[in-house]
């Protein structure tokens, strides 16, 4: 059976929302002399194997773009205030002798490093560079130069649509000394993802970007998509990269928060910077929160470290001296140093975590799943946020395994009291199952804003005159649904002209 992900319109929701060993005995010696009994000393308790003895392990900044991007496969680490470079598996590449965190120039694995206590001459520098290159670890940066990519929105672009986002105003600045400004290219979308951080500006007379222009909320950074949509965050003074991940960090007045691709903050702005970025006027500074890499990001809150997942949940709570993750290896600092640690095995949200997150997202003071399922904003969330974005023609959409979309054969653009007569169908679970190649007991997976916040399955449905009763079992999102944490509610709606639904009652149903 095909795996189908349904995105349901508000209209369709009214219809479907559905032995030990024995030794050889020895003879007693007749001449045996009795000796005092000796008690064996207890075996010493084995000591815990010490970990890596670095003070800090941090992400490596890569100067190929602005905002800076991160490097996978390596960390920069410090001991006694001096920095070096190691592979992600803990193998040292460059010793901790540099006064700044090691970073990479715009080219691949071109490390900015030297011995700050006993600087190398050029011959020594070249010899060391050749050795690490032979080992497959790149080489040392001999000089600065080259271009780093950044993107800005030209407010003075000729013919720009002032009433909406206009892709013709997007500019690629290959920054250098001074660099060049070009129209956006398709290859850059492929490189940086289909949603990139930008700032708006009035270019100078040569077309180079100037100071970012803040909007009415004080935000200087926002996101623009390949399709020409804009995602804004009130007050954002920095926005980092999504690449192919579900979340990205944004800097707000109170700290760093994590944003989904539809502009929803899925965490509060409680996080601190976690990696050092080059600042050629100040040296290096802790500047950015961590971007997600393969579904996780290192986070720091109140000086304590943890690991965040793509749902915005701290799967390792911020209760550790240090946590380092660059997409392939996880290191956690404890009393005996840094130790490589497996990723958390179970990522299913507990009911407490789920309710807390949804309460924050929906701005509802709820404490339990039942509270949440009956909260007005959650009910509206069911209605408003579970259909294919931008589809307003009343037809339904379904996603096949290959991501393609097809339209359902019937139109539901005018759901009213004569629905059954108009379509000649009985809108029951069996019909829906047949239509979507689901078993009658199949689940309706709801993916609001493109990511699973919850899973719901249809328990019962009835349409009588203008009354619509939908019984749903709602559970936190998990591996197929955390049904042991679910609640069941009956949602009663009144069906108005044009298919408009008005909630008129909610009640809990015993499972």
Neighbour tally for 416: CB within 10 Å: 15
The answer on pLDDT for 396 being more than 60 is: no
The answer on pLDDT for 367 being more than 50 is: yes
pLDDT at 447: 33
pLDDT at 487: 80
The answer on pLDDT for 281 being more than 70 is: no
pLDDT at 455: 61
**What tokens were used for 206?**
């040569």
pLDDT by residue (tens digit) across 454-483?
A: 566 666 666 676 777 777 777 765 544 566
Least confident of 6-10, 300-304, 431-435: 6-10
Would you place residue 436 in the very low, low, confident or very high pLDDT band (cuts 50, 70, 90)? very low
pLDDT at 224: 95
pLDDT at 434: 37
Average pLDDT score over residue span 254-279: 89
Where in the chain are the domains? 5-17+352-509, 56-140, 148-348
Would you place residue 268 in the very low, low, confident or very high pLDDT band (cuts 50, 70, 90)? confident
The answer on pLDDT for 96 being more than 80 is: yes
Q: Higher confidence at residue 385 or residue 202?
A: 202
Alpha-carbon Rg for the chain, nearest whole angstrom, is 30
Tell me whether strands 148-154 and 195-201 are parallel, antiparallel or unpaired: parallel
Contact 444, 18 (CB under 8 A): yes
Q: Higher confidence at residue 48 or residue 246?
A: 246
Average pLDDT score over residue span 153-180: 89
Instruction: Tell which residue, 83, 75, 74, 94, has the closest CA to residue 55.
Output: 83
Hey, which residues does 247 pair with through a beta bridge?
260
Q: Give the containing element (helix H, strand E) for 59.
A: strand 56-62
The answer on pLDDT for 403 being more than 50 is: no
pLDDT at 362: 65
The answer on pLDDT for 397 being more than 50 is: no
Tell me whether strands 501-509 and 330-334 are parallel, antiparallel or unpaired: unpaired
Helices H, strands E: what count in the chain? 8, 31
Would you place residue 445 in the very low, low, confident or very high pLDDT band (cuts 50, 70, 90)? very low
The answer on pLDDT for 108 being more than 90 is: no
pLDDT by residue (tens digit) across 172-219?
A: 998 776 789 999 999 999 999 999 999 999 999 999 999 999 999 999
pLDDT at 500: 57
The answer on pLDDT for 128 being more than 50 is: yes
Tell me whether strands 275-279 and 283-288 are parallel, antiparallel or unpaired: antiparallel
Q: Higher confidence at residue 394 or residue 199?
A: 199
**What tokens were used for 396?**
């339904």
pLDDT by residue (tens digit) across 209-264?
A: 999 999 999 999 999 999 998 999 999 999 999 999 989 999 999 999 999 888 88
- Chain position carrying tokens 């601190």: 272
- Note every long-range contact of 359-362, with CB atoms under 8 Å and residues 24 or more positions apart, other chains counting: 360/268, 361/264, 361/265, 361/266, 361/453
Average pLDDT score over residue span 288-314: 91
DSSP symbols for 276-321 = EEEETTTEEEEEEPPPPBTTEEEEEETTEEEEEETTS-EEEEEEES
Q: Higher confidence at residue 139 or residue 33?
A: 139
d(CA 242, CA 262) in angstroms, rounded, equals 12
Would you place residue 19 in the very low, low, confident or very high pLDDT band (cuts 50, 70, 90)? very low
Of the chain, the percentage scoring pLDDT greater than 90 comes to 42
d(CA 452, CA 246) in angstroms, rounded, equals 11
d(CA 288, CA 462) in angstroms, rounded, equals 52
Average pLDDT score over residue span 93-111: 91
d(CA 261, CA 232) in angstroms, rounded, equals 10
pLDDT at 215: 93
Average pLDDT score over residue span 3-8: 29
For residue 1, count CB atoms less than 10 angstroms from its CB and return exposed for 0-12, middle for 13-18, buried for 19 or more: exposed
Contact 65, 317 (CB under 8 A): no
pLDDT at 235: 95
Mean pLDDT computed over every residue of the chain: 74
pLDDT at 507: 82
Contact 476, 485 (CB under 8 A): yes
Phi, psi of 402 (to 5 degrees): -85, 5
Q: What is the 3-state secondary structure (H, E, C) of 77-118?
A: EEECCEEEEEECCCCEEEEEEECCCCEECCCCCEEECCCCCC
Would you place residue 442 in the very low, low, confident or very high pLDDT band (cuts 50, 70, 90)? very low
Would you place residue 46 in the very low, low, confident or very high pLDDT band (cuts 50, 70, 90)? low
The answer on pLDDT for 300 being more than 70 is: yes
pLDDT at 494: 73
Q: Higher confidence at residue 166 or residue 362?
A: 166
Q: Higher confidence at residue 156 or residue 382?
A: 156
Would you place residue 75 in the very low, low, confident or very high pLDDT band (cuts 50, 70, 90)? very high
pLDDT at 377: 72
Q: Higher confidence at residue 426 or residue 68?
A: 68
């Amino acid at each position: 059976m095909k795996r189908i992900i349904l995105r349901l319109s508000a209209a369709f929701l009214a219809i479907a929302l559905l032995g030990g060993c024995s030794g050889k005995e020895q003879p007693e010696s007749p001449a045996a002399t009795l000796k005092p009994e000796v008690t064996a000393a207890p075996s010493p308790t084995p000591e815990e194997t010490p970990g890596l003895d670095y003070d800090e392990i941090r992400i490596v900044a890569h100067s190929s773009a602005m905002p800076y991007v991160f490097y996978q496969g390596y960390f920069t680490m410090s001991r006694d205030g001096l920095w070096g470079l190691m592979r992600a598996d803990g193998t040292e590449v460059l010793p901790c002798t540099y006064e700044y965190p090691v970073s990479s120039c715009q080219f691949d694995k071109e490390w900015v490093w030297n011995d700050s206590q006993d600087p190398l001459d050029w011959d020594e520098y070249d010899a060391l560079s050749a050795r690490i290159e032979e080992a497959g670890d790149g080489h040392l940066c001999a000089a600065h130069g080259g271009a780093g990519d950044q993107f800005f929105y030209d407010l003075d672009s000729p013919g720009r649509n002032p009433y909406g986002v206009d892709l013709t105003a997007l500019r690629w600045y290959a920054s250098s000394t001074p660099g060049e400004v070009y129209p956006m290219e398709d290859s850059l979308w492929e490189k940086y993802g289909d949603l990139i951080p930008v700032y708006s500006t009035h270019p100078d007379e040569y077309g180079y970007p100037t100071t970012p222009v803040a909007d009415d909320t004080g935000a200087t950074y926002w996101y623009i998509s390949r399709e020409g949509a804009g995602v804004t965050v009130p007050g954002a003074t920095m926005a980092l990269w999504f690449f192919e991940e579900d979340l990205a960090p944004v800097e707000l007045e109170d700290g760093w928060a994590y944003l989904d691709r539809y502009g929803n903050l899925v965490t509060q702005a409680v996080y601190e910077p976690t990696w050092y970025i080059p600042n050629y006027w100040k040296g290096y500074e802790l500047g950015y929160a961590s971007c997600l890499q393969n579904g996780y990001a290192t986070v720091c809150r109140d000086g304590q470290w943890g690991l965040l997942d793509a749902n915005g949940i701290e799967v390792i709570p911020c209760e550790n001296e240090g946590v380092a993750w660059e997409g392939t290896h996880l290191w956690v600092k404890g009393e005996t140093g840094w130790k490589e640690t497996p990723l958390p095995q179970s990522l299913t949200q507990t009911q407490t975590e789920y309710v807390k997150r949804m309460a924050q997202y929906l701005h509802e003071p709820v404490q339990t799943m039942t509270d949440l399922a009956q909260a007005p904003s959650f009910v509206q969330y069911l209605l408003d946020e579970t259909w294919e974005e931008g589809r307003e023609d009343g037809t339904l959409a379904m996603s096949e395994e290959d991501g393609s979309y097809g339209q359902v054969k019937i139109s539901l653009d005018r759901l009213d009291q004569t629905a059954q007569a108009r379509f000649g169908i009985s809108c029951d679970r069996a019909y829906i199952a047949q239509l979507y190649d689901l078993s009658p007991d199949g689940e309706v997976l709801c993916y609001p804003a493109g990511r699973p916040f919850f899973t719901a399955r249809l328990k019962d449905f009835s349409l009588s005159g203008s009354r619509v009763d939908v019984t749903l079992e709602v559970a936190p999102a998990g591996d197929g649904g955390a049904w042991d944490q679910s609640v069941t509610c009956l949602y009663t709606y009144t069906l108005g002209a044009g298919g408009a639904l008005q909630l008129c009652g909610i009640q809990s149903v015993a499972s």
